[in-house]
Structure 1
Amino acid sequence: MPIAADPAPRPLDHLALMGARAAPALVDRAGIIDHAMLDRLVGALGGALLAQGLVPGDRVASWLPKQRLACLMPLAAARAGLVHVPVNPLLKHPQVAHILADSGAGLLITGRGRAETLEQGDLPASCALLIEEEAGAALLGGAEILPPSAANPDDLVAILYTSGSTGRPKGVMLSHANLWLGAVSVAHYLALEPDDRTLALLPLSFDYGQNQLLSTWAAGGCVHPLDYLTPRDVVRAVGRYGITTLAGVPPLWIQLAECDWPAEGVASLRRLTNTGGRMSVPLVRRLRALFPQARLFSMYGLTEAFRSTYLDPALIDAHPDSIGRAIPFADILVVRSDGTVAADGEPGELVHAGPLVAQGYWRDADRTGLRFRPAPAASRFGGIAVWSGDTVVRDAAGLLRFVGRDDEMIKSSGNRISPTEIEEAAVASGAAAEAVALGVPHERLGQAILLYARPIGDDAEQRLADWFRRNLPGFMQPARILWRDDLPRNANGKLDRAALRAEALAGEGSEP
């Protein structure tokens, strides 16, 4: 039977106790571990982390691919009373340096290759470094095995870094209760069962990427982590392991829909889940035709509240552009600018209240106050809510439809990208005096990055390209750079983003 929507949160590491002891919990290149071994390894890794000199409340960062140690870190840090800071393995050293300094991490665990990319000053003096190839076996084989923790579910257990519309990535503070209830909620509405096998494709530094692990283990199922190079790798893995659950972002679904799927791959899939952007109606139609037996879940969420809505798969054929209704434990309202609830058919801001709401941004009271504010009077939970800045419309049946974003965030390939971070990198290169980054519509990516820049020197184009290649991950690389001797300004003397956006959408900068 699917897991019940139990509202009582527990310490996060108790998820290691949810499955039948002899049932498989994780299958990776190192072999198979069952749920009994999962619990033992979580306890051993937790003890080994404390043996590094860390104390409860300290932050421990992991910058790793989806191997065994990375998969166990969320639960092991929780068992040890530490705060886990997972770092996207695609990030380059400037972003990692910011995360380490901002979080105050006392330990970074990463591979030798990534460690060698760190430059002088990237690793704070207070942050120790462990190389996974050298220390991984010892960390998982420690003699001191911690028992399940007795942590307060409201205690901080993780900081997930996400880009904002201005400035560098900010750390979203998540409690045991946030992650526990998120796992139980998803496991419940996806109807996950102990015999389910999840192919974990999304980065474990993403909220839903980490939830692939947590929700599957909450249901007693098995996770198959995969770092893939091509969509064909995904197709082969689905068939090889009899995968039942597959999560992706729209650009990946576009690629998978274009693949030649063998019958055994199609037959095993029970559910497909989408996050990180809205699927186009044609894409929904293609996936429904390709996987007629699989339930297709369209979902909406934000890291500050994990997940907000999902659409019942039974409704997706009739409502392919809907993001559905609130998930379990979420209170979702569509609110006017005066804080009252919008009428059916009237656009308003999506506001999320309830126990999935995060604890704010790490050491950033100003930005916390802007996004985390008292819930509207109509909220059944009250307390602090997340005001998303996204505009939605609710229809007479209670289904929500996404309209647009009020901020300047760029959404590309499922990644939320700060335009300011790209602009700062362009100026730091010495090749651009000023820069403006915009997201423009792109069929495959959702949005592509278009950069307007004012050059410095005759070789600015090559210098900027080289700088971006060395300092920004692939998903933050502009698809096109338009050079201007002068950039437009508004009446306040600031760069006129609105004018550049209008120019881009008029055709010059679209679909780069």
Structure 2
Amino acid sequence: MLVHELILHHTGAVSRQIALRDGGQEITFAALANEIAYAANLFLGLGMDRRDRVAVYMDKRIDTVVAMFGAAKAGGVFVPVNPLLKPEQVAHILKDCNVRILVTTPERLALLQPVLAGCHDLRCVVTVSAQATLQIAGLSCVNWAERATAPQRAAHRVIDGDMAAILYTSGSTGKPKGVVLSHRNLVAGAESVSQYLENSPEDRILSVLPLSFDYGLSQLTTAFRVGACAVLMNYLFPRDVIRAVEREKITGLAAVPPLWVQLAQLDWPAGIDEHLRYITNSGGAMPTSTLAALRAKSPRTRPYLMYGLTEAFRSTYLPPDEVDRRPDSMGKAIPNAEIMVVREDGTPCAPGEPGELVHRGVHVALGYWNDPEKTAERYKPAPGQPAGLPIAEMAVWSGDTVKMDDEGFLYFIGRRDEMIKTSGYRVSPTEVEEVIYATELVTEVAAVGVAHPVLGQAVVLVIYSLGKDGSVSEKLMAECQRQLPAFMVPARIVSRDEALPRNPNGKIDRKKLAGELAEMFEENPS
């Protein structure tokens, strides 16, 4: 199955069900299939060749989904661009993966106009608007409405191993990299997730995460796989999310830890768990205190704690029945994947021994676009293959340190590029942050390593609290000294008057925090 066929394969009663809701608008699976065909004809009429990249730079709306899946149906590759990105960041993506067609709004196009001259592969801009189409020198500019009258054309031949999408990572180290996903990757991911979440056509899944984020895109593909309804949402405040869950009778809600922390501090409507069947977390460890608060607010809602990486979609999940026994576990491998914990030489770690998480299976992406060096660093032969196998199977070596217990459950220790190296020790930011969240004295916290002339790196806590307790830093430091070994105790606690910065995927931007702290320490090292 190809990714757009997740929509097209529904027939009978399911084809008449609502596939997408966007505010007051909604569209059935049958109508969505027709719109995708119109979009494919438009792109083909604009000269789109097989595997050409089509960037979609808009907020979350039905037309955004149509453009993405229409590009796939035509035989091209869709590149969803986070609407929060600035023109220079968008230009980097357009140039990096040689985008040929850009779908956007007139307002966003006006912002991009100064940087488009450097996007030498861009040939055409499609504007989604009822207004007259802007004209830009050197580019063919057409209106989205023309898809309705575009002549029907034969799509390019595509198989499930071909490229379907390029998703750009949030760029925690250097500029964002484009992860190339095949049709098989996306479809297998949807099948796996919908299997363990037990999704059905009766589900209503709220889509709050960016579609440029693999976790956000997964909400669409999972819903489409089973004939469920995806409700699109561009939220401003966490309270808006809770209201949408109640108003739309949402059954499934996915979010990242910073959003869950905010949602756990709000009042939830009574009876919301009569329809909210499950919640999921990925993109980082959910603090145990946050999970406890969420479960208290919606007792019958089942929590699924998950771990994933864009390079291999989703890797593990913890079944809700195991949450009480091991709330700090990231679970076991998702269906049709194998997760290994290995030493540097590729040999398996013993139970309890920290090692690198390696993911093998159908979800492993095709690599980083036009970057063989970084691809070779992350995509390497899977450990333990037979010596006589002539072509090595490639796996994703995550760079994340985890450990496995005697029963095979995995526990996250830290990301390699986020581990703090202090006094000869490697400190997991998550472990320090858990202690702080458990005090319930802060709204948000991040542990960051800052260069230190003696320690190598010093552990620095950045906190944000809604309260005005001037002694909170002293209380937190005392708690750290009580619970943590000396080398893990923060050298300094920095309090902010506003929420911690986010990257475009909604995660705390540790790189930005580290830069701010480095400047602060240079000015005042004491």
Question: What's the offset of the Cα at 1:120?
Answer: 2.8
Say whether 1:200 aligns with 2:198. no
Distance of 1:54 and 1:139 partners within structure 2: 16
List per-residue Cα deviations over 1:69-111 (Å, max 9, x = no partner).
1122332111100011111111111111110001100011112
1:262 counterpart (262, 269, 272):
269
Residue of structure 2 equivalent to 1:54: 48
Aligned partners of 1:173, 1:392: CA distance in 2, in Å? 25
Q: Does 1:130 align with 2:126?
A: yes
Task: Output the TM-score relative to the length of structure 1.
Answer: 0.78
Q: State whether residues 67 and 103 of structure 2, in contact with CA within 8 Å, keep that contact through their aligned partners in structure 1.
A: no
Output one character per residue of 1:358-394: Cα deviation in whole Å (capped at 9) or x when no partner. 0111111111111000000169996000000000010
Partner of 2:321: 314
Task: Assess if the C-alpha contact under 8 Å between 1:109 and 1:132 holds in 2.
Answer: yes
The Cα shift of 1:486 comes to: 9.8
How does 1:98-497 map onto structure 2 within 5 Å? Answer: 98-118=92-112, 120-123=114-117, 124-127=119-122, 128-134=124-130, 137-138=144-145, 141-144=148-151, 151-164=158-171, 166-377=173-384, 383-408=393-418, 441-442=461-462, 478=512, 481-482=516-517
Closer, same or farther in 2 for the Cα pair 1:228/1:334, shift >3 Å?
same
* Larger relative contact order, structure 1 or 2 (CA cutoff 8 Å, min sep 6): 1
Structure 2 match to 1:91: 85
CA distance in 1, matches of 2:414, 2:504: 27
For residues 174-199 of structure 1, what are the alpha-carbon distances to aligned partners after superposition, in whole Å with 9 as ceiling and x for unaligned? 10000010111111111000010011
Q: Is the 8 A contact 2:49 2:156 kept in 1?
A: no
Aligned residue pairs total: 435
Q: 1:361 to 1:206 in 2, by over 3 A?
A: same
In structure 1, C-alpha distance between the alignment counterparts of 2:293 and 2:59, rounded to whole Å: 31
How much has 1:484 moved relative to structure 2?
Answer: 5.5
CA distance in 1, matches of 2:107, 2:419: 31
| Residue of structure 2 in register with 1:457 after alignment | none
Query: Which blocks of at least 5 consecutive residues in structure 2 are unaligned?
Result: 131-141, 421-428, 431-447, 449-456, 466-500
Change (3 A) 1:235 1:148: farther
1:29 and 2:23 correspond:
yes
- 2:350 and 2:376 map into 1 onto residues whose CA distance is 27
Q: Is the 8 A contact 1:232 1:259 kept in 2?
A: yes
CA distance in 2, matches of 1:54, 1:148: 10
1:144 deviation in Å?
4.0
How many angstroms apart in 1 are the aligned matches of 2:270 and 2:154?
44
Tell me which amino acid in the other structure corresponds to 1:243: I
Number of the residue aligned with 1:15: 6
Tell me the amino acid that sits aligned with residue 13 of structure 1. Answer: H
Q: 2: CA distance between counterparts of 1:439 and 1:36? A: 55
RMSD after superposition: 3.2
The letter of the residue matching 2:516 is: I
Offset of residue 232 of structure 1: 1.5
Q: Which amino acid aligns with 2:40?
A: G
Distance 1:41 1:116, change over 3 A: same
Instruction: Quote how far apart the aligned CAs of 1:113 are.
Output: 2.3
SS class of match (1:43): helix
* Structure 1 spans left out of the alignment, 5+ residues: 1-9, 413-418, 420-436, 446-468, 489-499
- Asked if structure 1 preserves the Cα contact closer than 8 Å seen for 2:204 and 2:231, the reply is yes
Q: Secondary structure at the match of 2:4?
A: helix
SS at match of 1:116: helix
Q: Contact 1:204/1:210 (CA < 8 Å) preserved in 2?
A: yes
Could you give the per-residue CA deviations for residues 298-357 of structure 1, whole angstroms, max 9, x where no partner exists?
000100001100000111122111100000121100001111111111111000011100
**Partner amino acid for 1:17?**
L
In 1, Cα distance between equivalents of 2:7 and 2:317: 26
Contact 2:82 2:504 in 1 (8 A): no
Cα pair distance change 1:387/1:473, threshold 3 Å: closer
Amino-acid identity (%): 45
Q: Is residue 67 of structure 1 aligned with residue 74 of structure 2? A: no
Greater shift in the superposed pair: 121-130 or 202-211: 121-130
C-alpha displacement of 1:263: 2.3
Give the counterpart letter for 2:70 in structure 1.
A
**Whole-Å separation in 1 of the counterparts to 2:6 and 2:205:** 16
Shift of 1:236: 1.3
In structure 2, what is the equivalent of residue 449 of structure 1? Answer: none
Q: Where does residue 80 of structure 1 map in the other structure?
A: 74
For residues 237 and 177 of structure 1, do their structure 2 counterparts lie closer, same or farther at Cα, with a shift above 3 Å needed?
same
Q: Provide the C-alpha distance between the structure 1 equivalents of 2:143 and 2:318, rounded to a whole number of angstroms.
A: 41
Judge which range, 132-141 or 309-318, deviates more.
132-141
Q: Distance in 2 between matches of 1:438 and 1:233?
A: 38
Alpha-carbon contact 1:346-1:393 (below 8 Å) kept: yes
SS at match of 1:393: strand
The alpha-carbon distance between structure 1 residues 130 and 89, as it changes in their structure 2 partners (threshold 3 A), is same
Which residue identity lines up with residue 309 of structure 2 in the other structure? L
Q: Secondary structure at the match of 1:254?
A: helix
Deviation at 1:408, TM superposition (A): 4.3
Whole-angstrom CA distance in 2 between matches of 1:75 and 1:405: 33
* 1:238-285 deviations in Å (ceiling 9; x for gaps): 111111010001111111112222225332100101111100111111
Which amino acid in structure 2 is aligned with residue 214 of structure 1?
T
Corresponding position of 1:415: none
Offset at residue 129 of structure 1 (A) = 2.1
SS at match of 1:333: strand
Separation of aligned partners in 2, 1:23 and 1:336: 49
CA contact (8 A) 1:326 1:332 kept: yes
Q: Deviations over 1:489-510 (max 9, x none)?
A: xxxxxxxxxxx9xx8xxxx8xx
